[in-house]
Structure 1
Amino acid sequence: MKQIILFFLPLLWGNLFQQLYSLVDSIIVGKGISDQALAAVGATGTLNFLILGFVVGMTRGFGISFAQSFGKDDMTLLNAYIRAAKKLSITFGIIFTIVCVSLLNMMLSFMKTPDDIFEDAYKYFIVILLGIVVTVMNNLEITILQSLGDSKTPLTAMISSSLVNIMLDIILIMAFNTGVAGAAVATVVSQFISYLLCLKKIKNIGFLNLGKEAKEPLALSFELMRIGIPVALMNSVTAVGAMILQYFVNLMGSAYVAAYSACMKFASLFEQFGMSVGLSMMTFVGQNKGAGKIDRIRLGVRQGILISTVVNLPISMLMIFFPGTLARMLLTDNTIIDYCTDFMPIMGISFLALGWLFVYRYSVQGLGNTFIPMLSGGLEVIMRLAFGFSVGRKGFRGIAVSEVSAWIAAFIMLMVTYYVLINQKSKGRS
């Protein structure tokens, strides 16, 4: 319990700090440029989630192999995996950059980006896409450290890079009037700062410079892709699910869009608690799976469920009993606030299930199975689509039901998967 909590807390603070930075960044763009500029940046959000979510998910999947090798105390294999992962990350980063830059105009048109913000949206996201290699390498270095049990260095790097980002936003936007492109440049530069800080720490870890490759590089690359690609696809599929519900909300009108945006901002903030517990479990399970300590995995997952319940229960109560208070922090229109009070309690009732979903999803991944979690992302899309058509079109509460139905279905699927896999591991061990 102590080890899990000590690893979880820096992850949590890092994720919360990122959410805080995102809010500050939005304020600077909105106040420093215009509401239209903020809308342009926001218009790229789904594409950002879809594209960068893939490459970030891929590197996170690589971390499962790192953690298991570290748990086995096989430093030769660990070094070989890391070298192969770096080559793959650079290769995928370059490919994604070329493809996405070439198709950006078409993607923005397909998303029905309004004409009055199209140019700014293009200027902003083209810079983000040109920095994909920096983003993927930064996330790989963070994943390496977290896989070895170090969540403090990534936290320090994240805070430092976020402060640099905010400072550059102010300088580039306020002083040099670079517009939305300046905001994008600040984001890429801050990612590079984080990369350098993590790389410096990794170079000081002696055993990462030891040993020769244990397998042929091609075999290692295929193994990493077998684990990493499903995690990447799961992230992208989740983005598709978000796009589906956004479509149904858009049909209801701008007032509902505002209410939905406010509710999901709180959901994104609050889910960081459960997600951080889940990420902790992925490293914990991966290391102990590598060491063959199945009973320790069982105990750790039970304690992970307990930690998730403890941290999410107050959040659940807050969303159920004080939705209006939360909504007033972002909104002023009483009608829109009333919509939030219809929507948010439904999420609150099911928020514990979302936290448990993260624990089981990342535990299954830590055991080396990334295919079923990928399928659970597909199940989420199906549930959002089915409930969106059946109840989402009938009212705003139906949209909330569509969202939580995806959480509950994926939670049940992954919980069953975890217990099947852990029982198989126990029998295999004995």
Structure 2
Amino acid sequence: MERDLTVGKPITAILKYTLPLFGSIIFQQLYNIADSLVAGRYIGTDALAAVGNGYEITLLFIAVAFGCNIGTSVITARYFGKKDIRGVKTTVSTALIVSTVIAVILTALGLGLTKPLLNLIKTDPVIFTDSYEYLMIYLGGYIFLLSYNIATGIFSALGDSLTPFLFLAASSVANVIVDIVFVKTLHMGVKGVAWATFLCQGVSAILALAFMFVRLRKLPHEGDEKIKKVDFKILKEISVVAIPSILQQAFISVGNIIIQGFINAFGAWATGGYAAAIKLNNMAVTSVVALGNGMSNFSAQNIGAGKPERIKKGIFGAIGMGAVISLIFTAIFLGLSEPCIKIFITDGNADAIGTGVNFLKIVTPFYVIIAVKIIADGTLRGTNRMLSFTIATFIDLLLRVVFSAILKKPMGITGIWWSWPIGWLIATPISFGLYLFAAKKNFGLKKENTPAETESSKTPSETEKKAEKIVSENAAESVAPEDNNLTE
């Protein structure tokens, strides 16, 4: 069902909307963890290292899918917030056609560059073949991943976070079952892990798209004019949001690949231990990402409706929820770090286990810090402050890579682990400061003489005209550097 995030108490609206998103994130991590878990438990530490090593490269391609998801979701949410259903449907059509072209191009590039990328990150010869085969199969199904992300982004933009959750839950459970059948029963090795992901992503994408089209047909739009297949004005609006998000994730992936190269130099045991620890770390961090994504759509709908005060109230509630989630994961990973790592590593490789435990003990105490940054970044993205969002992200990444390179020499692999909290401690105040600056400027909206909540008392035509002007002004700010919110 669609959910209007422009009415009701902000904290209540965010909580109800985000709960299914949180569940989706957990199942998404289960989806990702399943490959490593099955490889580590039923094949061995080298297989775990191979899957983990390959996964860092897949994140480059996932970055594009994530950016397309966010761009489509935010722009769809703005049109939905303005009650412009024609705009919603045109955004969907434009996003699907363009993303299909992107998927074909990136699949061809990925298949051709797999070996050079594995050589670039100094992949251990022991795991090279398995990493290569995993990537070739995974990338062959990239169009499914991208299509699925577009569909779920549209559901989220309409305020429906439950449907993506149900799809992801079913797909994740199926992936675990197929993983075990292919690896334990059919003895397909690492290739079995990759084929399980390929099949489950394919089925999920087809079903999600089918349900999305059914949902959109139920939304009536004004006029008899046909919906444009590709609207270049809307494509520009999507790109303004999507490209910084893609660059953010891509640069994070490049940074992680560089760091993966540093780790690989220590040996397969280090790669295996890191592969286990980073899966657990990602589960904690991406749980807060659910709140960040929730704030993006909450902010986008309220920008479309011309209600900035709701955004200012909502962010602090989201930060409070993020702190609670972070503290829960911190307590679990600090108290049970070794048992958690041993879920993945069952062959008694003490060096790999120790590496994973060391990572968790260093990084987890700082989860509350990164939670604030993630939620502030989500709000910046939803309010179209994309330059601010991009700057905050790149600073975090740059610091992590630089400190990894500096500290690995005197401190060994432990120095690499410390680059995470150092980057977070410096980047978080910058992100939140940029949010405060944007909020002080009312996110580019003109202040009204009446409270924001009275917008609903205006006629639809007045609100729509005002919101359209706001969106176009904000889009112009993001495109033209000389007019961005840092120089207002």
TM-score, normalised to structure 1, is 0.89
The match for 1:309 is 323
**Counterpart-to-counterpart distance in 2, 1:178 and 1:429:** 61
> What SS class does the counterpart of residue 350 from structure 1 fall into?
helix
Post-superposition shift, 1:319?
A: 4.5
1:71 alignment partner AA: G
**Counterpart-to-counterpart distance in 1, 2:269 and 2:131:** 23
2:281 alignment partner AA: A
1:420 alignment partner AA: F
Q: How many residues align?
A: 430
**Counterpart-to-counterpart distance in 2, 1:179 and 1:333:** 20
Post-superposition shift, 1:30?
A: 4.6
Post-superposition shift, 1:271?
A: 1.4
CA contact 2:48–2:272 (8 Å) conserved in 1: no
Aligned partner (choices 205, 221, 227) of residue 210 of structure 1:
221
The match for 1:295 is 309
CA contact 1:66–1:81 (8 Å) conserved in 2: yes
Q: Indicate yes or no: 2:83 matched with 1:73.
A: yes
1:255-266 matches, within 5 Å, as: 257=271, 259-266=273-280
The match for 2:442 is 425
Cα–Cα, structure 1 residues 130 and 338, in superposed 2: closer, same or farther, change >3 Å?
A: closer
CA contact 2:89–2:227 (8 Å) conserved in 1: yes
**Counterpart-to-counterpart distance in 2, 1:335 and 1:43:** 17
CA contact 2:45–2:269 (8 Å) conserved in 1: no
**Counterpart-to-counterpart distance in 1, 2:123 and 2:406:** 27
CA contact 1:234–1:375 (8 Å) conserved in 2: no
Q: Indicate yes or no: 2:426 matched with 1:409.
A: yes
CA contact 1:17–1:159 (8 Å) conserved in 2: yes
The match for 1:366 is 382
The match for 1:285 is 299
CA contact 1:238–1:381 (8 Å) conserved in 2: yes
Post-superposition shift, 1:349?
A: 3.1
The match for 1:85 is 95
**Counterpart-to-counterpart distance in 1, 2:26 and 2:109:** 32
1:94 alignment partner AA: V
The 10-residue stretch of structure 1 (208-217 or 197-206) with the greater mean CA deviation from structure 2: 208-217
> What SS class does the counterpart of residue 441 from structure 2 fall into?
helix
**Counterpart-to-counterpart distance in 1, 2:192 and 2:301:** 41
Q: Indicate yes or no: 2:133 matched with 1:123.
A: yes
Summarize deviations over 1:148-192 as a string: whole Å, max 9, x none.
111111111011112332333344445555443343232122112
The match for 1:145 is 155
Q: Indicate yes or no: 2:238 matched with 1:227.
A: no
The 10-residue stretch of structure 1 (218-227 or 230-239) with the greater mean CA deviation from structure 2: 218-227
Post-superposition shift, 1:52?
A: 2.1
The match for 1:193 is 203
Cα–Cα, structure 1 residues 340 and 66, in superposed 2: closer, same or farther, change >3 Å?
A: same
The match for 1:269 is 283
Summarize deviations over 1:183-223 as a string: whole Å, max 9, x none.
32321221122223323332332454635558972222222
**Counterpart-to-counterpart distance in 1, 2:93 and 2:344:** 46
Q: Indicate yes or no: 2:112 matched with 1:98.
A: no
1:383 alignment partner AA: L
TM-score, normalised to structure 2, is 0.79
**Counterpart-to-counterpart distance in 2, 1:220 and 1:71:** 16
Post-superposition shift, 1:285?
A: 0.8
The 10-residue stretch of structure 1 (184-193 or 35-44) with the greater mean CA deviation from structure 2: 35-44
Cα–Cα, structure 1 residues 108 and 367, in superposed 2: closer, same or farther, change >3 Å?
A: same
The match for 2:123 is 113
The match for 2:172 is 162
1:5-44 matches, within 5 Å, as: 5-30=15-40, 36-44=46-54
**Counterpart-to-counterpart distance in 2, 1:16 and 1:112:** 31
The match for 2:466 is none
**Counterpart-to-counterpart distance in 2, 1:117 and 1:337:** 18
CA contact 1:283–1:366 (8 Å) conserved in 2: yes
CA contact 1:277–1:308 (8 Å) conserved in 2: yes
**Counterpart-to-counterpart distance in 1, 2:154 and 2:356:** 40
The match for 2:7 is none
Aligned partner (choices 244, 252, 259) of residue 245 of structure 1:
259
Post-superposition shift, 1:415?
A: 0.9
Cα–Cα, structure 1 residues 384 and 226, in superposed 2: closer, same or farther, change >3 Å?
A: same
2:329 alignment partner AA: I
CA contact 2:308–2:445 (8 Å) conserved in 1: no
1:39-78 matches, within 5 Å, as: 39-78=49-88
CA RMSD between the two structures: 2.9
1:412 alignment partner AA: P
Post-superposition shift, 1:305?
A: 1.0
Post-superposition shift, 1:340?
A: 5.8
The 10-residue stretch of structure 1 (167-176 or 363-372) with the greater mean CA deviation from structure 2: 167-176
Cα–Cα, structure 1 residues 102 and 140, in superposed 2: closer, same or farther, change >3 Å?
A: same
2:315 alignment partner AA: V
Cα–Cα, structure 1 residues 268 and 74, in superposed 2: closer, same or farther, change >3 Å?
A: same
Post-superposition shift, 1:370?
A: 2.6
Post-superposition shift, 1:265?
A: 3.0
> What SS class does the counterpart of residue 25 from structure 2 fall into?
helix
Gaps of 5+ in 2: 1-10, 448-488
Cα–Cα, structure 1 residues 36 and 233, in superposed 2: closer, same or farther, change >3 Å?
A: same
CA contact 2:269–2:349 (8 Å) conserved in 1: no
